[in-house]
Structure 1
């Protein structure tokens, strides 16, 4: 893990309790290393969004009940947050187009989209209004990296990665 600059890796079933534990461990690590509070806040917010996406939106594949992976790494200039979970293939086109749209927007465009989504506040059947990825893009200031790996006729594995700069905003 140290060779790859990984702070924390968790693979398995994700529950609200496990999510809390992952957040506490990552926060302790950032406290221990003396990370600046504004950077900690951004990393923590992005972690919460990624973990909530897994808890709310991961689909179960046979005996693998909501199994997923979450990793956080630290390089000299960035924290890298990576997550992955199974999703139903029929959900891939919608999610892919949503992520691609987010990646076309600049800071101001993301702000407008966020406000627009809040005003419409359409809650999905899984409990989200779709703000998470927009919020991640706003907090990170980076393009979202993602991939969908087909597993079989029913499921794909959704991999998601974002970076948070450790360099102060100018």
Structure 2
């Protein structure tokens, strides 16, 4: 393994205002432990309670989505890895980003869904949330009722953004970004 220049990595994290960064296989207990660390970082950063709750819930939703997806597709430890970053953007916003491997058709569908949500205003997102809430939940569904992505979009003060990087093996790396207001 090549030596990692931790000083340069630390300088990059500090310059980018990164509060928390994780890369690797993610389990339920790890989601919880990182969530506890995130709560402590937000408290130390004197985040407003509403902002801290929004950042935490967006982090939880993103990481649980990654975990459920990897389990549903029976990915091995390497392929089920998640990359999660929580940072500050000046004094006004928190940025929550996550990424993981997905099958290409799933990634394309996610990009379309994010684009649809990004085009909606707050009233349209609220209506979409209520509509989705009333939809019957599929018994074959491995996770929730499809509300999570809408909820992330509702908490974000800027439209959601996402990228899809194609890989050689028919998979893609999907990354999503939400921006949370730091103060109420």
Q: What is the TM-score when the length of structure 1 is the normalising length?
A: 0.91
Show structure 2 runs of 5+ residues with no match: 1-12
1:15 CA displacement = 0.6
Match of 1:7 in 2: 19
Show structure 1 runs of 5+ residues with no match: none
8 Å contact kept, 1:61–1:155: no
8 Å contact kept, 2:25–2:77: no
Match of 2:78 in 1: 64
- What SS class does the counterpart of residue 2 from structure 1 fall into? helix
- Is structure 2 residue 61 aligned with structure 1 residue 45? no
Q: 1:15 to 1:63 in 2, by over 3 A?
A: closer
Structure whose CA Rg is larger: 2
Match of 1:143 in 2: 159
- Is structure 2 residue 35 aligned with structure 1 residue 19? no
d(CA) in 1 for partners of 2:46 and 2:31?
Answer: 23
Match of 2:5 in 1: none
Q: What is the TM-score when the length of structure 2 is the normalising length?
A: 0.84
8 Å contact kept, 1:78–1:166: yes
Residue by residue over 1:107-126, the C-alpha shift from the partner in whole angstroms, topping out at 9 and shown as x without a partner, is 11111111111101334633
The 10-residue stretch of structure 1 (59-68 or 159-168) with the greater mean CA deviation from structure 2: 59-68
Structure 1 stretches of 4+ with a deviation exceeding 4 A read: 59-63
- Is structure 2 residue 120 aligned with structure 1 residue 105? yes
The 10-residue stretch of structure 1 (61-70 or 157-166) with the greater mean CA deviation from structure 2: 61-70
1:99 CA displacement = 1.2
- Is structure 2 residue 85 aligned with structure 1 residue 96? no
